[in-house]
Amino acid sequence: MSEEDIEKYFDKIPRVEAAAYNSSQRDFRTGCLSGTRDYLLSAVHEWVQRPTPPLFWLNGLAGTGKTTIAHSVAEYYDERKQLGASFFFSRDQQDRRDTRQVISTIAYQLGKAYPEVEGLIATAIKNHNPLHSNSQTQLRRLIIEPLSSLPHQRSLPTVIVIDALDESDDHTAASNIVELLATELPRTPLPLKFFVTSRPEKDLRSRFLAETVSSETQTLILHDIDVGIVQKDIKLFLQVRLTGIAKKHRDVIPQKPSKWPTEAEVDALTERAGGLFIFASTVVGFLDESSFLAPQRLSSILNEKVTASSSNLNPYAMLDKLYYQILDFMLHAGPHPIEDTADMFRRVVGTILFLRQPASCDDLIALLNTNVKGALMHLHSVIKVPKEDEGTQTIEIFHKSFHDYLTDPARCTDHHLFIDPPVHHGIIAESCLNVMIHSLESFLSTSIYIGYLPDFDKIPPFLHYACSEWTEHGLMCRHDDKLFDLAQIFFSTTSLNWIMYLALTDEGLIRFMHLIEQAARLGLVWSPFLSISLQHLGGSLSSRPGANRDYLQCRKVIQSSSFASILAVGIPPADPGCYFACAFADILSPFSMISFPEINDRRMWNFFELEWLEIASVCARPGSPAETAYYHILGCITFHQCHFELSVSWFQRALPVDVPDHGHSFEVLRDMVAARCNGARLYQDFLDDMWHLPLWVVDSYIRTLQRVGVCRADVLFTLGNLYWMRFQLVDNTPNPEDIDISIQHLQNAANASPQNFLRCASLQNLGYSLCMRYEFYGSPADIDAAEQCLRESEAQCDPKDAESVNSLPRDLGYAMYKSFKLRGQFEDIAKSIWYLTMFLTRHTALEVRTERHNSEVGRDRDEAYDALRKLERNNPGAGAEIWRCCHNPKIPLEVEILKRMTVALSCSSDEANSGLRI
């Protein structure tokens, strides 16, 4: 395999770059202080070098230094070229808590660490493509088999470090990885060593203690190490760090009459640490934060009373007291009232704790619209705050024990400081909604509405986060009236922009589907009035590469039960601007392309299944706009499928009682009238109650639309159909003015329409009206004009539309036959047969879908036979020539028609008999 191919296949591996021990996102993390943890590190080195089990599990309570030790192990073996890979989990970052990419990330890092392995992994990807397989297959194909294929096996063990496995978002999946390693690694002679750290969480502990895993694992429990050894390390750490603070700030920290800190003070701090390195590390940060106050702060910490009982019951008692002292100092340090300071603290720090991805200071300011730097001024010992020149660096807490303290009401008992998770998820959701309402439209409007995709590299990170994560926070928050009102505003004003943004980003349709489903659930949680407008979804998706796949993915979402639930609820009639289904009705309506020509994509017709929509319409609140819009969608779909009886029925349910003259009501009227006209023309049975309307209803619709004005093409189109209908009503003597006005309106509609379905339909209906006027009044100019309409519509329409809804060729065939009888021109009968054949071919294809056509098809065939026989009597041989030109020998139906016509002619004339045999 060439180097280019190796790079191409290897680069396909999904990985989490930030999970490596030395990634830029972990730049503030370091290993153990030299001289500390020697006993523990020696145990790890001995495990690596000896023929020991392939797994090493280091477990301990929060704050005991597991991550620092893992960092030291990774760093040590990286320097010796023995580190194969490292994956440091973090619940603060979404990709670093996802177990699905652990194996693939390890494989990627192995390939980068050992170039000879990279080609073998690339070959495995090319031959087996295991990238989307389960973890077991990935482990075998991407790690074990490539390493086993090396011509020269490495003599030194390869170490792989997995830290904080308990911080994964799926403990069951994490436990499965442990069992997988314990099962697969012993089966291979490869010198692979997996060093794993975690808290002793229930799922992980039970899996590690299982016989199949424990037999392949060396375990070390940090809090079981001799207390004297741990305290010695903590004391050394404190001595080195505090002495460094004293030297750095010697101008403000006096060293006389006694040295600071004293031996006794260091011993007292060591005792209070209780074996938790995070206590010692936090103390150092707190004292270093404000150098001239370091002695006073140290005294304050040591003056805090210690009760043996509390320490015994709660291993974090002293750490909790330290956190409280730091936060209490923060509350009283500024000039503002404590309540105001506490409110700002909870708002800012609560957001930092619960954001699903770390954010920079600038992004937090934009998201919260508050003084973030002021809120964090006195918290640098517990929160990593970037410097002024590090604007893009993220703000993070130093240790997850701080998160645990603030969110546990049993540990954080001060109401000023306690951060309630549901409340603060609500604050973040509210901030995200505000950001989208005020910023998303301006970002999209400069590009999408003028036909270009926006530059997503330029979208502010806080806005991207708001679009991608607000639903997660919304689902975890408590009901709140303010948030409820804001959500209503969002759904009625901004949800369309949000959907457009999601549809156009590169995150993929799986993520898109997930967010839409969550939004549907939010509609049920927050309000029975919320739903989503997806008006431009079809257009935005159809413009993207791989749109066919995208439509299938989105269809799953739209047909999902959770999505149906929100849409079926509906909204009150007083709020007509924010419901979902009207938007889709606009897209699906055959005539909506006048308003949205960019959405002229026939795949939208297959977006729904009728059964699902019918269920949703039944679930909708009776009389709600959602119910109306569902009926409209069902009518549009059945219209396109030429099921005009069903289509009319659905449209009739969707049509309001009052006379519609604008908005969605007009859309329903327009499509309902078109369905009635198409059904009447197709079945040539206008007297059927299914197709005609009472005269007074037709006149009422006409008056209403005339008041609106006749400047819009779809209004002109509807008026043309209504006058065509009026001309034929049984209780109305045909009025020449009706058909003249119909022709005028339809001609104007065709002229006013762009090259889309509406223009095609206008031309076809204009042809119908011209044929009808010719039928009644016999003007040759009408038949010629109708023929021109047919040619134009055939040239402009989508072939599927022309074949499915256009019965104009039949009417033209009849009209031409009548013209032949009146004028005696052989050209007319030739055209008659041509058009009847065209219609017969298409119309017979529809027999598969409905039995109603049988009698009509038979009658059409008889008309064609009769016309052809009359042609043969007047001009022998002409009929045979026409049929040979008409038929396509590759289409069995047309071959059959030709045979039947030949038999019919052979029976009518001996002279024709010899010339027509084939």
Q: What is the CATH number of the domain that holds 121?
A: 3.40.50.300
Q: Phi then psi for 506, rounded to 5 degrees?
A: -95, 15
pLDDT band at 583 (very low <50, low <70, confident <90, very high): very low
Is 209 inside a domain boundary? yes
| pLDDT tens for each residue of 352-363 | 999 998 999 999
pLDDT at residue 326, as a whole number: 92
| pLDDT tens for each residue of 86-123 | 999 998 888 899 999 999 999 999 999 998 899 999 99
Of 624, 686, 634, the C-alpha closest to 656 is: 624
Residue tagged 């090319």 (tokens): 126
pLDDT at residue 404, as a whole number: 92
Q: What is the token pair recorded at 269?
A: 């701090």
Is 311 inside a domain boundary? no
Is 861 inside a domain boundary? yes
pLDDT at residue 839, as a whole number: 67
Share the mean pLDDT of the chain: 76
* Model confidence at 176: pLDDT above 60: yes
Overall average pLDDT of the 501-518 stretch: 62
Helix, coil or strand: residue 615: helix
H or E element, residue 117: helix 115-128
Is 392 inside a domain boundary? no
pLDDT at residue 523, as a whole number: 54
Overall average pLDDT of the 472-500 stretch: 78
pLDDT at residue 453, as a whole number: 52
Across 356-370, 875-889, 891-905, the highest mean pLDDT is recorded for 356-370
Overall average pLDDT of the 24-33 stretch: 82
DSSP state of 799: H
Number of H-type helices and E-type strands within the chain = 46, 8
- Do 806 and 764 contact (CB within 8 A), yes or no? yes
pLDDT band at 29 (very low <50, low <70, confident <90, very high): confident
Which residue type sits at 9? Y
Distance separating alpha carbons of residues 675 and 645, to the nearest angstrom = 8
Indicate the angle between helix axes 115-128 and 3-10, nearest 10 degrees: 70
pLDDT at residue 607, as a whole number: 40
Of 760, 719, 751, 723, the C-alpha closest to 739 is: 723
Q: What is the token pair recorded at 570?
A: 């509906």
Contacts of 752 (CB under 8 A, 6+ apart): 712, 713, 716
Distance separating alpha carbons of residues 783 and 767, to the nearest angstrom = 8
- Do 180 and 111 contact (CB within 8 A), yes or no? no
Between 235 and 834, the more confident residue is: 235
* Model confidence at 497: pLDDT above 60: yes
pLDDT band at 324 (very low <50, low <70, confident <90, very high): very high
Overall average pLDDT of the 58-64 stretch: 91
Residue tagged 């064609």 (tokens): 864
Residue tagged 């997503």 (tokens): 456
| pLDDT tens for each residue of 789-801 | 877 877 766 554 4
Q: How many CB atoms sit inside 10 A of residue 612's CB?
A: 16
* Model confidence at 230: pLDDT above 60: yes
pLDDT at residue 443, as a whole number: 75
* Model confidence at 871: pLDDT above 70: no
The pTM of the full predicted model, rounded to 2 decimals, is: 0.59
Longest dimension (CA), the chain: 138
Cα 108–113–114 angle (5° rounding)? 100
Q: How far is CA 590 from its chain centroid?
A: 27
| pLDDT tens for each residue of 240-261 | 999 998 888 887 787 766 788 8
Proportion of the chain above pLDDT 70, given as a percent: 68
Between 816 and 801, the more confident residue is: 816
Q: Pairing relation of β-strands 394-397 and 359-360? A: antiparallel
Lowest mean pLDDT among 448-452, 628-632, 636-640: 448-452
Across 83-97, 285-299, 498-512, 695-709, the highest mean pLDDT is recorded for 83-97
Q: How many CB atoms sit inside 10 A of residue 544's CB?
A: 14
Q: How many CB atoms sit inside 10 A of residue 386's CB?
A: 16
Q: Is the dihedral of CA 369, 374, 377, 378 positive or negative?
A: negative
Strand partners, 909: none
* Model confidence at 777: pLDDT above 60: yes
* Model confidence at 829: pLDDT above 80: no
Cα 683–688–691 angle (5° rounding)? 75
pLDDT at residue 208, as a whole number: 94
- Do 225 and 232 contact (CB within 8 A), yes or no? no
Is 341 inside a domain boundary? no
Is 396 inside a domain boundary? no
Q: Following CA atoms 840, 843, 844, 849 in sequence, which dihedral angle do they give, to the nearest 10 degrees?
A: 180
pLDDT band at 150 (very low <50, low <70, confident <90, very high): confident
Between 507 and 7, the more confident residue is: 7
Contacts of 137 (CB under 8 A, 6+ apart): 130
Which of 195, 225, 255 is the endpoint of a domain? 225
* Model confidence at 614: pLDDT above 90: no
Is 855 inside a domain boundary? yes
Distance separating alpha carbons of residues 722 and 746, to the nearest angstrom = 11
Which of 210, 225, 240 is the endpoint of a domain? 225
pLDDT at residue 475, as a whole number: 84
Which domain range does residue 886 map to? 816-918
Is 833 inside a domain boundary? yes
Distance separating alpha carbons of residues 787 and 808, to the nearest angstrom = 9
DSSP one-letter string for 754-794 = -SSHHHHHHHHHHHHHHHHHHHHH--HHHHHHHHHHHHHHH
* Model confidence at 528: pLDDT above 80: no
Q: How many CB atoms sit inside 10 A of residue 195's CB?
A: 23
Of 353, 356, 352, the C-alpha closest to 514 is: 356
Which of 175, 190, 225 is the endpoint of a domain? 225
Q: What is the token pair recorded at 527?
A: 């309000």
DSSP state of 479: P
pLDDT band at 39 (very low <50, low <70, confident <90, very high): very high
pLDDT band at 847 (very low <50, low <70, confident <90, very high): very low
* Model confidence at 68: pLDDT above 60: yes
- Do 634 and 649 contact (CB within 8 A), yes or no? no
Distance separating alpha carbons of residues 521 and 523, to the nearest angstrom = 5
Which residue type sits at 702? I
pLDDT at residue 766, as a whole number: 87
Overall average pLDDT of the 26-40 stretch: 87
Distance separating alpha carbons of residues 343 and 368, to the nearest angstrom = 13
pLDDT at residue 860, as a whole number: 44
Between 694 and 435, the more confident residue is: 435
Helix, coil or strand: residue 473: helix
How many domains does the chain fold into? 2
